[in-house]
Amino acid sequence: MWFEHNILSILIWLPVLGAVAALLSKGDKAARLIASGFSIVNLLLCIPLYLAFDTSSFAMQFQENHLWISAYKIHYAIGVDGISLAMIMLTNFTGLLVILAGCQAIKVRVAQYMAAFLIMQGMMIGVFAATDAILFYVFWEGMLIPMYLSIGMWGSSNRNYAAVKFFLYTFLGSILMLVALLYLYIQTGSFDIQHFYSLHLSMHVQKLLFFAFLLAFAVKVPMWPVHTWLPDAHTEAPAGGSVVLAALMLKLGIYGFLRFSMPIVPEACEYMAWFMIVLSLIAIIYIGLVAIVQTDMKKLIAYSSISHMGFATLGCFMMYEIIRRMSSVPDAYMSLEGAVIQMISHAFGSGAMFLGVGILADRLASHSRQIKDYRGVAARMPIFAAFFMLFAMSNVGLPGTAGFVGEFMVIMSAFQAHFWIAMVAALTLILASAYTLWMYKRVFFGPIVSDEVAAMQDLNWLETTNYVLLAIGVFFLGLYPAPVLNLLHVTIGHILSLSMPA
Amino acid sequence: MYVEINLLSIAVVLFLLPLAGALIAGLFGKQIGRSATHWVAITLVGCSFLLSCYLFAAIVLLGHPPVEGVIYNWVTTGNYHFDVAILLDHLSVTMLFIVNFVSFMVHIYTVGYMADDPGYQRFFSYVSLFTFSMLILVLANNFLLLFFGWEGVGLVSYLLIGFWFKRDSAVDGGLKAFIANRIGDVGFVLAIAAVLTYFNSLDYHTVFNHVPAVLGQTIRILPHIHAHVITVICVLLFIGAMAKSAQIPLHVWLPESMEGPTPISALIHAATMVTAGIYMVARMSPLFEYSPAALSLVLILGATTCLFMGFLAVVQQDIKRVIAYSTISQLGYMAVALGASAYDVAIFHLMTHAFFKALLFLAAGSVIIALHHEQDMRKMGGLAPYMPITYLTFAIGALALAAIPPFAGFYSKDAIIEAVHLSTTPGAHYAYLCVLAGAFVTPLYIFRALFLTFHGKKRHEGAVNESPWVVLVPLIALAIPSIIAGGMLIGPMLFSTPHLLGDSIFVLPQHDVLTAWAVDYKGAQTMALDASHTLPFWLAVSGIAAAWIFNMARPEWSDMLKKRFSWFYEILIDKYGFDKFNQVVVVQGTRRLGEFFYKVCDLMMIDGIFVNGSGRFIRLFARVGRHLQTGYIYHYALAMLLGLAVLLGWFVLGF
């Protein structure tokens, strides 16, 4: 097709164009329509992208390359491999959900809200598509601004604290990454990420680079102990912001590990593997326990996200231990692919649950997120309760839902790495069901708590549409993950070979 | 005559039918109305039952070789292929038959039992969904799909226990069931991971064929402690089975599950799901056979469960809880059979138990609806004349459970006792004592329930009527196999060559208790007639007699005993303190730990000291630094002069 050569650029800039159009539009209704239209088109554009993608090649595809700043040889260079393609499709899917949910929930400054999320979507696609380190960095930081604004403007009572905490945390993290990128530029004379892979750096340098990257990515994931921004950001953000945070932004950290840390400084990664494994296990157990005692639904889901992301980081860094113990490389596939699947599947379950909290809060005058303010919702909103049960089960990791696949693959791999890693990781089966279902019980079951809950209306058609889309995602990934994995195999294999210590 | 593909596609249709029923009832139940919903659900499960009869005939009766087939590839990663694939062999088709039969009966019964419940369609949807999950569990040819079914039945069990979700006790029961099962699942998942790590496959036959290669390998659990791989796998698997099949100490959820509607107590918490653990261990017999340690564990835990949970049934006042503790105790019997390497006997008891226990539950349910959801036996009594068919069928179930010949339970339970007697597994002596004592306790509690419910003075006020035919038909249909299934099947299941379960079960020659016993076995009739020469029979009879004495003839004696042995009675009422322990240590402990991590580590340390602390530090720094910028020119001029002086001084003196 005619647009195939520029399809990635279109995907990145079309939402930005949509944002401008939404801002210029007259009236809230027009802004909603324009934003929905642009995000639907963007999602549809993923179809030709997916169909034309060659799964048998690990090379970057749909490449575009233009010199941007000649003095520093910075290029506008974009392209996708299996992982970034999967993430771009996920971004567009989530983008549409968020816009649709926003059409309903947002009543003030609608055009600006739509614009902020469309720009965020564009920036996010840019991050996943960039093959030039500076371009990557620009998108990486660029996406912070609309996120910061969305928390600060449409957030709830304590939004200023949360927004500043979010911004400083993530910004301070990524500043060291910029230093690392500059160092790599001096070494290679180029900002092309591919060129970084062929560097042979001394262990000392590798360790320094590893920590520079680690700080940036660990904050994003977030890993224990740099996770405390997330619960605050989530609770204060509007529902759409929470969805984007959970479904997409956290994944950038894992993506960074896979794209930068592991292939560029493999020896350091191997050296630090146990450190990372322990941090991941702390995330799984400690954060799981913290999630149990939350009284705020959004905080609970936020902590549960951190715990789930622990599986993704565990899957990434366990590969070194697996290769060492099993002395076979194919065994490590499951670990890495499990991590990537966990990234994708988590988007559906937690995204849906955050939307659900938004749906509940919308129906209460106080917009409360406190568990105690709800009880017996199932009696009034049976359809919503059924959907939420499905997503809760995905969060619990029930087989047949999206949440199971990644968790299962990582636990299977963990046993190959070490008995006790698997043992500790598997405790999530208990913890996740405890915090998720205990919350579900207190919100949905039991006698109706107040007249306000008694007056709740079940899902309207727009909310139902959103949930049907998410339910399809949850079932598809849970029952038939093979196509998604098929997209990943070759790319994962390539990353694996790059990440092997020499 | 049979083409392979046909049997496989029949199996696929067989398990899709209940799924279709569940979807139709769940998604369109409100639109199509109540009667259409139950017609659709019952018809689809009925068809599924007919297909399972066909498969049973083809494979067990006509001897078609086992069939295996991949439906689709779920995940391929590295060298591993995880398929959704099914296996039709003697064991799986036997289980299909049991599951579908009981499920079909329960579907019909539900029409009567749930008649005026507002959640009628939802209930049908769940029960059909349960049937689907259970069929998947049984049909799986690999550990992964087994786990799919395993978790599926767990989910539906959770949903059904909490079916009346406005009642807190029901919802709590469901949550407890789910979490207890998840504790077991940790073991199960780790077992699967161990299997994958050491066998490089999750398919049963690949794994079983490679057992010899893995036999000598060990896993390092702690720096100086190594364990055999097979033992680790089997123990982990059994932890999974313990939760599902309610073995001590993971049994705590099953009594609470009685909060759910009675039809599902019969289907899920008596006949099918709770026996999944037993089925799983029997299915894994080629692994368990090579781990004497795991077999011993199964035997000892099973024996303990069987006796001590039986005691608890004696002191319950709620008719359903009596049967629930009885179920735990009977599952203990099955586990004992597994531990004694008598897997066929375990499945045999699983089958007879499915019939008579479902019958007991449904009969109890018939009483409960007749009394408008009264479950307390102290408010029943003297119901026999009002509900003759319910009474008769309950009595048949009780006789079968009490192991009175020639009822079904007699054969299967006697077989277990005999198998343990002959077993050489370490712990067999203890187990033998437990199952013998159990033979006395079982009739004691079930006849206590029978007498309190149906005999003596009528303590319920208001009219009592026999239940409608939709309730009675399943009772009668279950009463028949509760009478005859034992005598009919003991020969084919235990003593014919090949056994009814064929090659599905693997037993090492040195563990084979059935062959040793076969020498003495002279047919089902002789066994029943000779029962009077055996100890278990007299134990059973004295159990019934004791139940009569303490509840009917001399009720004051039971009060006397209660007073005389009040410490023991208190322990029983306290259920050995498991619930208290779980509440105080597990639940509160977890919550405290979570609070500690959240309030102290997250909020105080990380946020308080580091994050906001560095914020404060910067603010402090800024406040101090601000004094440097006063805005007064003479301050700056002074600073410039001083700076110049210092620099000049340094320049002059330094060089």
User: Are the CB atoms for A474 and A391 separated by under 8 Å?
Assistant: yes
| A:B CB pairs within 8 Å | 139
Give the model's pLDDT for residue A310.
Answer: 92
- Which of A242-246, B53-57, B538-542, B583-587 comes out lowest in average pLDDT? B583-587
- Using the Cα atoms of residue B82, residue B85, residue B90 and residue B91 in order, give the sign of their dihedral: positive
CA distance A305 to chain B (A): 15
Q: Using the beta-carbon criterion (under 8 Å), do B175 and A437 form an inter-chain contact? A: yes
User: Are the CB atoms for B468 and B389 separated by under 8 Å?
Assistant: no
CB-based burial of residue B132 (10 Å sphere; 0-12 exposed, 13-18 middle, 19+ buried)?
A: buried
Q: Is A411's Cβ below 8 Å from some Cβ in B?
A: yes
Nearest residue in A to B118, CA atom? A379
Alpha carbon distances (Å) from B158 to A323, B125, B152, B265: 40, 14, 10, 12
DSSP B65: P
Give the closest of B72, B77, B171 to A333, CB-based.
Answer: B77
Number of alpha carbons in the 13 Å side-chain half-sphere of residue B645 = 6
Q: Using the beta-carbon criterion (under 8 Å), do A405 and B165 form an inter-chain contact? A: no
* Chain B residues with CB-CB distance to A439 below 8 A: none
Cα gap B339→B419, rounded to integer Å:
10
Number of alpha carbons in the 13 Å side-chain half-sphere of residue A266 = 17
Residues in Cβ contact with A139 at an 8 Å cutoff, skipping those fewer than 6 apart:
A123, A124, A126, A127, A130
Q: Is A426's Cβ below 8 Å from some Cβ in B?
A: yes
Tokens 């968790």: give the residue. Answer: A407
Strand B67-77 and strand B80-88: the pairing is antiparallel
What's the full length of chain A, in residues? 502
Q: Tell me which residue of A219, A297, A293 sits closest to A256, measured CA to CA.
A: A219
User: Are the CB atoms for B121 and B30 separated by under 8 Å?
Assistant: yes
Nearest residue in A to B79, CA atom? A330
Nearest-10 crossing angle of helices B428-454, B388-401: 170
> Rg for chain A (alpha carbons), in Å?
22
Instruction: At A393, list the tokens.
Output: 């089960």
Strand B218-222 and strand B225-228: the pairing is antiparallel
CB-based burial of residue B548 (10 Å sphere; 0-12 exposed, 13-18 middle, 19+ buried)?
A: middle
User: Are the CB atoms for A131 and A9 separated by under 8 Å?
Assistant: no
Give the model's pLDDT for residue A344.
Answer: 92
Q: State the distance between the two ends of chain B, measured CA to CA, in whole angstroms.
A: 110
Cα gap A492→A494, rounded to integer Å:
5
Q: Using the beta-carbon criterion (under 8 Å), do B189 and A411 form an inter-chain contact? A: yes
Alpha carbon distances (Å) from A474 to A247, A286, A405, B532: 13, 26, 11, 60
* Chain B residues with CB-CB distance to A415 below 8 A: 190, 193-194, 196-197
CA dihedral B648→B650→B651→B655, nearest 10 degrees, is 160
Nearest residue in B to A482, CA atom? B75
CA distance B46 to chain A (A): 26
* Chain A residues with CB-CB distance to B172 below 8 A: 441
Number of alpha carbons in the 13 Å side-chain half-sphere of residue B203 = 16
Alpha carbon distances (Å) from B344 to B59, B307, B438, B490: 17, 22, 21, 10
Residues in Cβ contact with B389 at an 8 Å cutoff, skipping those fewer than 6 apart:
B466, B472, B475, B476
Residues in Cβ contact with B136 at an 8 Å cutoff, skipping those fewer than 6 apart:
B15, B145, B148, B149, B152
Q: Any bridge partners for residue A130, and if so which?
A: A78
Alpha carbon distances (Å) from B383 to B239, B246, B463, B492: 42, 32, 11, 39
Give the model's pLDDT for residue A69.
Answer: 85
Alpha carbon distances (Å) from A308 to A2, A354, A366, B592: 41, 15, 30, 22
Q: Using the beta-carbon criterion (under 8 Å), do A430 and B182 form an inter-chain contact? A: yes
Give the closest of B79, B159, B595 to A293, CB-based.
Answer: B595
Cα gap B304→A374, rounded to integer Å:
43
ipTM of the complex model: 0.91
Give the model's pLDDT for residue A2.
Answer: 61
* Chain B residues with CB-CB distance to A409 below 8 A: 75, 77
Q: Using the beta-carbon criterion (under 8 Å), do B166 and A376 form an inter-chain contact? A: yes
Q: Using the beta-carbon criterion (under 8 Å), do A334 and B80 form an inter-chain contact? A: yes
Q: Using the beta-carbon criterion (under 8 Å), do A445 and B166 form an inter-chain contact? A: yes
Nearest residue in B to A410, CA atom? B193
- Which of A348-362, B41-55, B623-637 comes out lowest in average pLDDT? B623-637
Cα gap B332→A78, rounded to integer Å:
63
CB-based burial of residue A102 (10 Å sphere; 0-12 exposed, 13-18 middle, 19+ buried)?
A: buried
Question: Which residues, given as ranges, of chain A have pLDDT below 70?
Answer: 1-4, 502
Cα gap A79→A254, rounded to integer Å:
19
CA distance A422 to chain B (A): 7
User: Are the CB atoms for B244 and B343 separated by under 8 Å?
Assistant: no
Give the closest of A330, A379, A426 to B78, CB-based.
Answer: A330
Nearest residue in B to A283, CA atom? B597
Alpha carbon distances (Å) from B564 to A442, B546, B558, B561, B573: 44, 17, 10, 5, 15
Query: What's at B296, amino acid-wise?
Result: S
CA distance A76 to chain B (A): 34
Q: How confident is the model at residue B192 (pLDDT cuts 50, 70, 90)?
A: very high
Give the model's pLDDT for residue A148.
Answer: 84
Give the closest of A293, A423, A446 to B168, CB-based.
Answer: A446
Tokens 């479950």: give the residue. Answer: B375
Give the model's pLDDT for residue B2.
Answer: 46
B499: left (phi over 0), alpha (psi -120 to 50) or beta: beta
Nearest residue in B to A380, CA atom? B166
* Chain A residues with CB-CB distance to B606 below 8 A: 225, 228
Q: Which of A102-111, B114-123, B610-619 has the highest mean pLDDT?
A: B114-123
> Is A108 in a helix, a strand, or coil?
coil
CA distance B400 to chain A (A): 37
Give the DSSP H or E segment for B221. Answer: strand B218-222
Q: Is A446's Cβ below 8 Å from some Cβ in B?
A: yes
Give the closest of B148, B220, B601 to A400, CB-based.
Answer: B148
Q: Using the beta-carbon criterion (under 8 Å), do A292 and B221 form an inter-chain contact? A: no
User: Are the CB atoms for B83 and B496 separated by under 8 Å?
Assistant: no
Give the closest of A333, A416, A426 to B189, CB-based.
Answer: A426
Cα gap B493→B344, rounded to integer Å:
7
Cα gap A481→B74, rounded to integer Å:
6
- Which of A281-290, B74-83, B148-157, B499-508 comes out lowest in average pLDDT? B499-508
Instruction: At B66, list the tokens.
Output: 């086992």
Disruptive mutation site among A169, A334, A396, A497 for chain B (greatest number of B CBs within 10 Å)? A334
* Chain A residues with CB-CB distance to B171 below 8 A: 441, 445-446
Q: Using the beta-carbon criterion (under 8 Å), do A444 and B194 form an inter-chain contact? A: no
Instruction: At B544, list the tokens.
Output: 């019934």
Residues 455-494 of A with CB under 8 A from B: 479-482, 485-486, 489
Q: Using the beta-carbon criterion (under 8 Å), do B77 and A165 form an inter-chain contact? A: no
Cα gap B468→B480, rounded to integer Å:
19
Give the DSSP H or E segment for B86. Answer: strand B80-88
User: Are the CB atoms for B226 and B216 separated by under 8 Å?
Assistant: no
CA dihedral B70→B75→B81→B83, nearest 10 degrees, is -20
Q: Using the beta-carbon criterion (under 8 Å), do B179 and A434 form an inter-chain contact? A: yes
Cα gap A126→A119, rounded to integer Å:
10
User: Tens of pLDDT along A404-417?
Assistant: 999 999 999 999 88
Q: Using the beta-carbon criterion (under 8 Å), do B171 and A330 form an inter-chain contact? A: no
* Chain B residues with CB-CB distance to A422 below 8 A: 190, 193
Q: Using the beta-carbon criterion (under 8 Å), do A408 and B155 form an inter-chain contact? A: no
Give the model's pLDDT for residue A160.
Answer: 80
Nearest-10 crossing angle of helices B168-199, A402-417: 50
Q: Model-level pTM?
A: 0.91
* Chain B residues with CB-CB distance to A405 below 8 A: 75
Instruction: At A165, list the tokens.
Output: 């905490």
Mean pLDDT confidence for B330-356 = 92
Q: Is A289's Cβ below 8 Å from some Cβ in B?
A: yes
Residues in Cβ contact with A247 at an 8 Å cutoff, skipping those fewer than 6 apart:
A90, A94, A346, A347, A348, A350, A351
User: Tens of pLDDT along B488-525?
Assistant: 888 888 887 778 888 888 888 888 888 888 888 888 88
Give the closest of B172, B182, B598 to A293, CB-based.
Answer: B598
Residues 128-147 of A with CB under 8 A from B: none
Question: Residue A76, Cβ neighbours under 10 Å: how many?
Answer: 18
Cα gap A255→B234, rounded to integer Å:
38
Give the closest of A291, A416, A433 to B197, CB-based.
Answer: A416
Q: Tell me which residue of A391, A339, A298, A324 sits closest to A86, measured CA to CA.
A: A339
Q: Is A332's Cβ below 8 Å from some Cβ in B?
A: yes
* Chain A residues with CB-CB distance to B590 below 8 A: 289, 292, 434
> Is A66 in a helix, a strand, or coil?
strand
CA distance A365 to chain B (A): 24
Q: Using the beta-carbon criterion (under 8 Å), do A444 and B193 form an inter-chain contact? A: no
User: Are the CB atoms for A252 and A216 separated by under 8 Å?
Assistant: no
Instruction: At B292, list the tokens.
Output: 């004497």
DSSP B226: E
Tokens 């860094």: give the residue. Answer: A317
Cα gap A329→A500, rounded to integer Å:
9
Give the model's pLDDT for residue B1.
Answer: 44
Instruction: At A321, list the tokens.
Output: 């231990």
Cα gap B460→B462, rounded to integer Å:
6
Q: Using the beta-carbon criterion (under 8 Å), do B186 and A444 form an inter-chain contact? A: no
